[in-house]
Amino acid sequence: MRTLLIRLAGPVGGMLAFLLLHHLGNVPAAMAGVVLWMAVWWISETVPLAVTSLLPLVLFPMLDIASTADTALNYGKDIIFLFLGGFLLALGIERSGLHKRAALWIIERVGPAPSRLLLGVMLGTALLSMWINSTASVLVMLPIALGLVDRARNDADRRKLGIALLLGVSYGATIGGMATPVGTPPNLVFMELSKQLFPDRAPVGFGQWMTFGVPLMLIYLTFAWMLLHMMFTRRLANDTQGAAQVQQELKDLGEVSRDELFAALFFILAAVLWITGGRVEFSADVVFEGWRREGWGLMGVSDAAVAIACSVPLFLIRSKLRRHTEHVDPSGEETAASSPTFTSLLPWHFAQERIPWGVLLLIGGGLALASGFESSGLAGIIGSALAGWSTGNGFAQIGVIAVVVTVLSELGSNTAVAGLALPLLASAAPAWGMDAYAAMIPGTLAASCGFMLPISSPMMAIVFGTGRIPAGAMLRTGIWMDLAGALLLALWFGW
């Protein structure tokens, strides 16, 4: 019954918003109703997020906001294929087993002390999350972290170490994803919205994003590690068995395989091309032009094209699977195994089952919503209405933005929150006397800063689902993480 009432609250709320704002005009009022409807369903998640994301395809043409053809274009933006290509590269790494080798290698280097194991888990997850989807990074590191936890000497140590390592996996994935445009969907939403809303402005390149994303990641990750250490691992003894387990797992992996080498090759190639594609100004005298410079004929090759180009060979390279089929002769006795099965390094059935198709629709729905803000005129109306909502101080303004977006991200999908908040920030920033990017970038990063509740992100939900993290511990630690994130963003972008 409760689910039904919340589902009905979406369209009913949208209808009320239309009636209350009808004086603004039919189209802006209708757009406000669509926003409220989608916000209720996105935040409550009583309807699958991907299904909610499809509403603009139906409602926009019905309410004269935009045609079906124009709305559908948002679901085919190149940013969708950037995410798809990045995930395919990540699946190639997973399929080859390279992800586990890299994670174990990092953990082995940091030593047996619980604080060091925590640092190794967080650092390994963060480095993975810079280049592959944050949720995938958690799924990669979770078995390793649980294995380390289960080697603890007693129940008390196991409980504390479990909370620390599992929260460390989630925090590392979230924070690492903030460092690059492909690390987490909200960053991709900003990259596409910035081109859509400001077509005459130079886009934020991959390398340019990393000039602020990587330092922020390092500072935030250091704080998260210190917080978890002080709260959970400070008094725990060295876990020599855990270190031995990591060493044994590395030994069991054997030599680097041909599949791992190919997966690494195309992954590194994509990363290098992403980083070096755009123009980066380090200072007035030090400028890196990038390979998309005029005269080279590559201006139209986007990061999405790079991602797809580097992922396609993974479907073409032959890989030998260690799987045999046993045969039974008429007498009932098993005969020798048949020949090994050969397939590609990344088989399509493997990719098809693991690609988060719903996230692709979610990004498209956020972009459709942003286009509706502009085409309906609602963005200009909201910008004028928010003109008086200014603190007059950059530090305080960014702080308020970060806190509001972070609170919203605790209640709903970070991708959906970014899709809702960024168009509003873009419209309001000029009225506050701010550059649009100065409000949108910290708002984008704040959309990832939900650490208190299991529903705040898939990363938090996955580790909470292990049953080893009490809700109270997640809440107490997450409050400090949320406050630190808002303060860090205010200091970095508003000081």
Last residue of a domain, one of 354, 379, 409: 354
Q: Say if 195 falls within a structural domain.
A: yes
Q: Say if 178 falls within a structural domain.
A: yes
d(CA 205, CA 139): 28
Q: Say if 371 falls within a structural domain.
A: no
Distance, C-alpha 175 to centroid of its chain: 9
Do 121 and 42 lie in one domain? The reply is: no
Do 85 and 17 lie in one domain? The reply is: no
Torsion angle, alpha carbons of 27, 31, 36, 42, to 10: 160
Note whether 362 and 135 are within 8 A (CB).
Answer: no
Distance, C-alpha 306 to centroid of its chain: 19
- For the chain, give the mean pLDDT: 83
Q: Say if 461 falls within a structural domain.
A: no
d(CA 163, CA 118): 10
Last residue of a domain, one of 354, 382, 411: 354
Helix (H, G, I), strand (E, B) or coil at 331: coil
Q: What's the confidence (pLDDT) of residue 61?
A: 95
Q: Say if 298 falls within a structural domain.
A: yes
Q: Say if 224 falls within a structural domain.
A: yes
Q: What's the confidence (pLDDT) of residue 50?
A: 85
Residue 132 has pLDDT above 80, yes or no: no
* pLDDT tens-digit map of 392-423: 778 889 999 999 899 888 866 677 788 878 88
Distances (CA, A) of 80 to 69, 182, 374, 440: 17, 11, 21, 20
How many domains is the chain built from?
2
Q: Say if 104 falls within a structural domain.
A: yes
Q: What's the confidence (pLDDT) of residue 243?
A: 67
- Going by pLDDT thresholds of 50, 70 and 90, the confidence category of residue 69 is very high
* pLDDT tens-digit map of 159-216: 898 999 999 999 999 999 999 887 888 898 898 888 888 888 887 877 889 999 999 9
Helix (H) or strand (E) holding 408: helix 394-411
Note whether 439 and 401 are within 8 A (CB).
Answer: yes
Do 32 and 145 lie in one domain? The reply is: no
- Look up residue 151 and give its DSSP letter: T
Q: What's the confidence (pLDDT) of residue 171?
A: 96
* pLDDT tens-digit map of 27-41: 999 999 998 998 888
Domain range for 3 is: 1-47
- Going by pLDDT thresholds of 50, 70 and 90, the confidence category of residue 340 is low
> Is 380 or 186 the better-scoring residue by pLDDT?
186
